[in-house]
Structure 1
């Protein structure tokens, strides 16, 4: 069933999978506003992650609420780069802003680990990948979304995500 309102798109996955790159490109393709959820983390969360300390659910709650609030009551369509690792995280993002669809970027941990090793200037410690992989809950059949392999070029991934969201 297609909604009259175009869905917000959350490009999700573990650190280093390409969320920001893909989400920026999707936003360009569909003329939507890009939002990097990392920009809404409180300083205490950033300090923890930079030190290699995984966030707790209590740490994530206000951050996810801030992201969801950005999507609520907006006339503008958003494309959000957000880890959204667990079902409950995605439920929060959907809580105030229907419709929301997810594009889950996934790939072999070795590829993601290599990308993280090459990345500079980001607060996320590469050592955090294992904790994110352990926390990750794939999209469930009743969640509106698609799974995309990071082996494809970012532009191809973005086109697929944009096409998927436009079918909703």
Structure 2
């Protein structure tokens, strides 16, 4: 059985890129968390308004439903900034793994700025992402990665880690 994994971190850390590459390497479906934001959430973020816990609640419920709909394993990209958000996803999939893409504020800001023409997320929100982030280092089944490493190296690290977890 393939484990399900969330590729998580602040905006600009590379969740979508790693999620796509990992899903292909593992032969798993990819769920792009951003695709499940409602129009009101997208509008807020594009205007530089940070989402609240209440704004995220329905989105997290939808992502939890997506996890439950893929018992064969799935790769999900989701910021999962707070432990409470991660725990909501764990309720849906108790053996859920997380790959945390760790990045500096400056690097995240530069990446978000570089993609501003093609993504709804406002560059003004990077600071709020870091203010909200509760680093998951002490939580179970979390792999912390340096988000500045080459994409293929990141994918290989996660794939190796997942194989080790499958055997354990």
Structure 1 and Structure 2 fold alike (TM over 0.5):
yes
Shift of 1:73: 4.6
1:126-141 counterparts in 2 under 5 A? 126-141=123-138
Match of 2:119 among 106, 117, 122: 122
| 2:56 corresponds to 1:60 | yes
Structure 1: which 5+ runs fail to align? none
- SS of residue matched to 1:80: strand
Q: Which residue of 1 aligns with 2:29?
A: 33
1:137-156 counterparts in 2 under 5 A? 137-156=134-153
Compute the TM-score of the two structures, normalised by the length of structure 2: 0.93
Q: Which residue of 1 aligns with 2:18?
A: 22
- In the comparison of the two structures, how many residue pairs are matched? 164
Q: Which residue of 2 aligns with 1:157?
A: 154
Poorly superposed stretches of 4+, deviation over 3 Å: none
Please provide the CA RMSD for this pair. Answer: 1.1
Distance in structure 2 (CA, Å) of the matches to 1:92 and 1:51: 27
- Cα contact 1:117–1:126 (8 A) shared by 2: yes
1:79-90 counterparts in 2 under 5 A? 79-90=75-86
Cα deviations across residues 104-146 of structure 1 (Å, max 9, x unaligned)?
A: 0012211111111110211100110000000000114232111
Match of 2:97 among 98, 101, 104: 101
- SS of residue matched to 1:90: helix
Shift of 1:31: 0.4
Structure 2: which 5+ runs fail to align? none
